[in-house]
Amino acid sequence: MRRCGAKKIKGLKCLGCGREYSQEEVKYNCPSCAENLDIVYDYEEIRKSFNKENLSQNRDYSIWRYEPLLPIEDLSNIPPLQIGWTPLYEAKKLGENLFLKDDGRNPSASFKDRASAIAIVRAQELEAEIVTGASTGNAGSSMACLAASLGIPAVIFVPQKAPRAKIAQLLIFGAKVIMVKGTYDQAFDLCLEATEEYGWYNRNTGYNPYTREGKKTCAFEICEELDWRVPDKVFVPVGDGNIISGIWKGFKDLKEIGFIDRLPQLVAVQSELSNAIVKAVKASIQHPGSRIQIEPVQATTIADSISVDMPRDGLAAVKAIQESKGWAVEVSDEEILEAIKIVARATGVFGEPAGVTSYAGYKKLKEEGRIGEEERVVCLITGNGLKDIDSSMKVAGEPFLIEPTLAALKEVENV
């Protein structure tokens, strides 16, 4: 077995009450207050053997190149699929100094593979026989994909309205799919009950602290792909809050070990039809110093991957926005759909509704004059557009149906 280096994890700390635990004491959230936990690293120990020079010589272009900053003990447990090191494109047609991080290029065509990779390694370390999770589609298909690559059974809970393309992924990867007659939040809660009842290993974000550790690798890649020039702003689609809290953790990790000398400003982007985080940020601005309160909403956005009533990692998300001196912005579903078309036709990157929500937020703030011309900005594109064809077709336009003759073709406008 390929064991990692010296002990690098100090323990876990609750984001709510602040209590600290060892890795052996807890598996999921805080036993005291039920809030989410954060993994605490020994950065001094990590700095002894991890530096830019040895990283530059590493030819493993995946999330595992950052192993010293990941909570894994045994590298022989990693999935055989290529995860991470996704392209960072400069999108000059959309804006000066604008970059798109295309995570639709991951194995299951979603950002969520980053989290699933760490979770499934942890599941093996704990000798779990079955993995499970609740999802609107992406997290579940991601877990099913990686579980299939390792021969581990997966049971995935999804709401009845999950897009068919994502259900197809789950089924083709061999997962047992439990379709719940209700919302994502109801599927999430049932998944937790099943975890308790059957002893399966649970991958749910906002519950399993190791998912955030996978998502932070995107921040590592952004900085390395920009030759360690930290972007000024990073726009993040936000649902349950786990991606933005993970991204922030990643930037902080790099600063702690001296790879970067400053931190970016994070911009959380939500649909106005699923805006619990935006509301919480606004409330914290109106009442500075008050306790962060996350209130549930009735989410109905077309962007299913970020359609969440109660953000399960909401506290960490709001803290990330606050610590980065960032913003939270909401956009309409119409703006999200339009962003699919704009991004695809200007860059060739095809994002699903949630995936391009970041750009919809960027476009809105750019038009409002809130982004400087010289600012370097990254938008996360978190999922591929083939995940939700029905939404894309609403703005794509219609094909031309003609007779198979040149005369008929000449009648088509602007051919």
| pLDDT tens-digit readout, 329-377 | 999 999 999 999 999 999 999 999 999 999 999 999 999 999 999 999 9
In a domain, residue 98? The reply is yes
In a domain, residue 15? The reply is no
What is the predicted pLDDT for the residue at 6?
Answer: 47
Mean pLDDT of 46-55: 95
More confident residue, 339 or 163: 339
What is the predicted pLDDT for the residue at 382?
Answer: 98
Q: How far is CA 72 from CA 21, 126, 151, in A?
A: 17, 11, 19
**Degrees, nearest 5: CA angle 27-33-34:** 45
Model-level pTM?
Answer: 0.95
What is the predicted pLDDT for the residue at 1?
Answer: 35
Are the C-beta atoms of residues 353 and 302 closer than 8 Å to each other? yes
In a domain, residue 331? The reply is yes
Are the C-beta atoms of residues 158 and 177 closer than 8 Å to each other? yes
| CATH code at position 343 | 3.40.50.1100
CA atoms within 13 A on the CB side of 214: 29
Mean pLDDT of 278-283: 96
What is the predicted pLDDT for the residue at 289?
Answer: 81
Q: What residues have CB less than 8 Å from 414, skipping those under 6 apart?
A: none
Q: What is the mean pLDDT of the chain?
A: 94
Residue with tokens 């649909």: 271
User: Which amino acid does the sequence have at 333?
Assistant: D
Which secondary-structure segment (H or E) carries 279? helix 276-286
Note down the domain range covering 237: 88-106+212-395
Q: Are strands 327-331 and 88-90 parallel, antiparallel or unpaired?
A: unpaired
* Closest CA relative to residue 232, chosen from 223, 245, 244, 243: 223
What is the predicted pLDDT for the residue at 3?
Answer: 47
Which secondary-structure segment (H or E) carries 276? helix 276-286
How many structural domains is the chain composed of?
1
Q: Give me the sign of the Cα torsion angle 192, 196, 199, 201.
A: positive
In a domain, residue 26? The reply is no
Q: Are strands 131-134 and 176-180 parallel, antiparallel or unpaired?
A: unpaired
In a domain, residue 185? The reply is no
In a domain, residue 328? The reply is yes
Are the C-beta atoms of residues 67 and 75 closer than 8 Å to each other? yes
In a domain, residue 179? The reply is no
Mean pLDDT of 175-195: 94
In a domain, residue 369? The reply is yes
